[in-house]
Each structure stands twice: as C-alpha cells, then as structure tokens.
Amino acid sequence: MPGQSFVIAASVLILIVVIALVRSRRLSERLSIFWMTFAFLMLAAASFGYPYLIHAATLIGIIYPPSAMFLMAILFLLAFTLYLSMGLSGLMEQNKVLAQELALLRVQVERTHNRS
C-alpha cells in the first residue's frame, strides 16, 4: 500500500535524522528518545502492526487506515508539545528568578559603590 510504504520510509528517515542530530550534538539525548520512540511506533504500526491498525481504525470509525497512523502521529506530537511547554514554563520561572537576583545584586553593588 502506498500509505504504508510512505510511513515506513518516513519513520526510517526520522530515525536517521535523529541519530545524525544527536551525533552532531544538535539534539540532546533526552529529546532524541521521544523522536526515536515516535519513529519506532510508526514503523511498528506500518509494518507488522498494520492488521491491528486496520482493525483499530474501523473500531473508531476511520475508513482509511493510514489516517489512523497520522492520527497517532498527531496525538504523539501533541503530547510532545505539552512536554516541551512544561520545560519552557520551568525555564521561564528560572529566568524570572535569575533576573530578580541580578537586580538585587546590582542594587547591592551600587550601594557599595556609592559608599566608597
């Protein structure tokens, strides 16, 4: 099936790109686990899990089975976006705390400088 072949090729391509990015230190190992899991799940769903995917797709009312794979991909990316948003929220909080500490240190330096 052309949809199945496309998903297999895309999964292999994602694996190759993720490995290359990790080797060149442009992607952290922690984030690469998410992308490799995504690629392996899609590869499994498109290859030996395809009969199960067809059955699951019909159970939830999806007529074209590759659409179920794309739904799975969208749900995975939604979860990944949520994970990145949580990390970003933590970084924003750290940034705020650091900015406040920097402002306090500047005030202390200015007071010390003015006394001299």
In a domain, 90, yes or no: no
pLDDT at 66 over 80: no
| Dihedral pair phi/psi, residue 25, rounded to 5° | 60, 30
In a domain, 109, yes or no: no
In a domain, 19, yes or no: yes
In a domain, 79, yes or no: yes
The boundaries of the domain holding residue 16 are: 2-83
Total structural domains within the chain: 1
Segment 104-110 shows an average pLDDT of: 95
pLDDT at 73 over 90: no
**Closest among 70, 99, 57, 85 to 3, alpha carbons compared:** 70
Q: What pLDDT sits at residue 1? A: 67
